[in-house]
Amino acid sequence: MQFLPVRNARLLSLLQNLTDTFFNDDAVKNILNNSFKTIDQDISEHHPVSDEYLKKALELKLKDYGFPRAANGFGMGKTGPEDNWKDFIPYQVKISSIGKFLGSPYNALTMLYPNDGYIGWHHNGNASGYNILLTYSQDGNGCFKYYRQKTKEIIELPDIKGWSAKVGYYPNDRTETEKVYWHSAKTEKARISIAWILNHKKMWENMIADISNNDFDRQILKQEHMS
């Protein structure tokens, strides 16, 4: 996954419209005052974003970690387990407008992280494709982490204040088992993440160009975990 600056004025306007009132909304405040933790019963002794958790997860069944098994956050979509998603319909409409602007019909994730929120190590190999991840951080005190399988390194990409994007490819956990893209995220202060997954590389590249106003150096997309 690579960091991508958001430079498109129209996109920035749509994103700003989403966050202008978001954290002052009573429904949002109510969510942030509650806990939506899920616990991985197989690795409950380690924090889900820790190196120790990843090491243990790598020893278990690959298919069990396509989706995150531990998280502290609220899924704002209709398909989430929470029963108060209706409070977020106005924001879902705004997120849908962002997706239409980008040209992507499939919003794979909209996640609200509370203070000290996180999403544990997983690889999305059961939902492979080209990914666009937009993140809003109130003050830049969160991060995205990924595991580089070839070198056994854990790489940390710090958040920046405001909106930013990350782009990458999720390999299939059945046909590309040695390349699956393990990743996790955490934050000290509440943040939002919105993700789209696409099956068409050219459409994905066009979205990247739109987000960055064509200033993005596409050569970085040739790095080994995106090949």
CB contact at 8 A, 75 and 109 = yes
- Residue-wise pLDDT for 29-63, tens only, equals 888 888 789 999 999 999 999 999 999 999 999 99
Contacts of 79 (CB under 8 A, 6+ apart): none
CB contact at 8 A, 114 and 76 = no
Q: What is the pLDDT of residue 214?
A: 55
Lowest mean pLDDT, pick from 27-31, 46-50, 98-102, 147-151: 27-31
SS3 state of residue 71? strand
Across the chain, mean pLDDT equals 88
- What is the average pLDDT across 117-124? 97
Q: What is the pLDDT of residue 227?
A: 38
Lowest mean pLDDT, pick from 8-12, 86-90, 151-155, 199-203: 86-90
Q: What is the pLDDT of residue 43?
A: 98
Q: What is the pLDDT of residue 193?
A: 95
DSSP 8-class letter at 63: G
User: Residue 186's closest CA among 50, 24, 6, 42?
Assistant: 50
Q: What is the pLDDT of residue 41?
A: 96
Q: What is the pLDDT of residue 77?
A: 64
- Please, is 167 exposed, middle or buried when counting C-beta atoms within 10 Å of its C-beta (0-12, 13-18, 19+)? buried
Work out the number of other CB atoms within 10 angstroms of the CB of residue 95.
Answer: 21
Q: What is the pLDDT of residue 225?
A: 42
Q: What is the pLDDT of residue 1?
A: 84
Instruction: Say if residue 11's pLDDT is above 70.
Output: yes
Q: What is the pLDDT of residue 224?
A: 39
Query: Who wins on pLDDT, 15 or 81?
Result: 15
